[in-house]
Amino acid sequence: MHETNRRYVLAKRPEGVPDKETFELEETEIPELETGQVLVQTVYLSVDPYMRDRMRAGESYAEPWDVGDPMQAAVVGRVVDSETDQWDDGDYVTGELDWAEYTVTDSSALHPVDPDLAPLSTYLGVLGMPGRTAYFGLLEEGKPTPGDTVVVSGAAGAVGSTVVQIASIAGCRVVGFAGSDTKVEYLEEIGADAAINYKQTDDYRAALDDAAPEGVDVYFDNVGGPITDAVFTKLNTDARVAVCGQIAHYNEEGVVTGPRKLPQLLPVRATVSGFIVSDYAPRFEQATQRLGEWVATGDITYRETVTEGLESAPDAFLGLFEGENIGKQLVKVTDE
């Protein structure tokens, strides 16, 4: 077993867009396990936009990292040493672990995964947090009904692409915003009735007039910014807006101003709800089972963007804000 470990720590708090100096790769010794602890070797780790908020000093729904703290992510890994009866060497597990080759953690922080049922990577994507976010965000917050028009921003990402497909299964007209022609083609492949390349138009309202001529009943918002400003002008009576993320604003240092949206909600009696997927934790197994059934039948497909090696983690994270990924962005740290 390796006696040393490499892990990323937060080197400094970024101002605006993070860069390579935000991250520091350090080498540490692996400590001896105490009773109840497990040593996990990372196979895949996830990078996600919400991590940008954890780099701030202020309060957020996710606890901020202190400078010098190891950065953390959803990880799928392999147990290589255990001081508990709960896990054996060779078991595959998932949990919130370090951006690292190895993590020592309490056994209670881990959950089992079965590589015989689905590829390990899917437990960080369509069968993991992004899939569950899409499932509960759309079905519980958006409450789609057959015939509704559902608009999704950030539609080619891990969450958005799953929302597109669940909305299609629900019998809705689905419109997705994405940032390239390749992503537009992908959205059309997975069931979007219309897709808008937001980088090729300055008039989102006109684009929506063409793509959603009967208005918008459900808006699943991953992005915020001018796209959301435009969608709010198209909301139908009793529309539902599920606010999942605001990636357009994560790197802003000040308070962003823009069109005042609240007056637009009054005449249409629209409902806007922000949600955090962890609020649905008691029902996670329900979502995973249903998503797994849809994946097994081919009703939901998935794409992954995988970079190789722990050293690639910062680039993979920074690429999220440039829209480089299609589907789930993962870092493969070691072979399965």
Chain segment 162-220, per-residue pLDDT in tens: 999 999 999 999 999 999 999 999 999 999 999 999 999 989 999 999 999 999 999 99
Say yes or no: 139 and 274 in one domain: yes
Q: Do residues 187 and 202 share a domain? A: yes
Measured CA to CA, the distance from residue 217 to residue 234 in angstroms comes to 9
Q: What is the pLDDT of residue 60?
A: 66
Does the pLDDT of residue 45 top 60, yes or no?
yes
What pLDDT is recorded for position 64?
A: 87
> How many domains are there within the chain?
2
193 is written with which tokens?
A: 């009735």
Confidence bin at 254 (pLDDT 50/70/90)? low
Q: What is the pLDDT of residue 139?
A: 98
Average the pLDDT over 288-307 and give the result: 95
* pLDDT tens per residue, range 259-289: 888 888 889 999 999 999 999 999 999 999 9
Residue 299 burial by Cβ neighbours in a 10 Å radius (0-12, 13-18, 19+): middle
Distance CA 145, CA 218 (A): 9
* Per-residue pLDDT, 322: 87
pLDDT of amino acid 252: 64
Residue 296 lies inside a defined structural domain of this protein: no
Give whole-number Cα distances, 291 to 172, 190, 267, 302, 328, in Å.
18, 15, 36, 11, 15
Q: What is the mean pLDDT of residues 46-52?
A: 90
Decide if 181 is inside a domain. Answer: yes
Note whether 196 and 174 are within 8 A (CB). no
Contact by Cβ (8 Å): 75, 2:
no
Domain that holds residue 119: 4-125+303-332
Q: What does the pLDDT look like over 86-128, one tens digit per residue?
A: 999 999 999 999 999 999 999 999 999 999 889 999 999 999 9
Residues 188 and 112 in one domain: no
String of DSSP letters for 268-327: HT-EEEE--GGGGGGGHHHHHHHHHHHHHHTSS---EEEEESGGGHHHHHHHHTTT--SB
- Can you give the CATH number for the domain in which 94 is found? 3.90.180.10
- pLDDT at position 62 is 73
The pair phi, psi for residue 329, each rounded to 5°, is -90, 120
In angstroms, the CA 261 to CA 229 distance is: 7
- Say if residue 217 is in the same domain as residue 117: no
- The b/e string for 113-139 (b: 16+ C-beta within 10 A; e otherwise) is beeeebbbbbbbbbbbbbbbbbbbbbb
Confidence of residue 50 (pLDDT cuts 50, 70, 90): confident
What does pLDDT average to over the chain? Answer: 93
Over 90: is that where the pLDDT of 251 sits? no
One domain for residues 86 and 157: no
| Distance from the first to the final alpha carbon of the chain | 16
* 236 & 197 share domain: yes
pLDDT in tens, 307-322: 999 999 999 999 998 8
Q: What is this structure's pTM?
A: 0.89
Same domain, 45 and 134: no
Cβ-Cβ contacts under 8 Å for 80 (sequence gap 6 or more): 1, 39, 40, 41, 89, 102
Give dist(CA 103, CA 26) in Å, integer.
14
Q: Cβ(121)–Cβ(141) under 8 Å?
A: no
For residue 262, being part of any structural domain is answered with yes
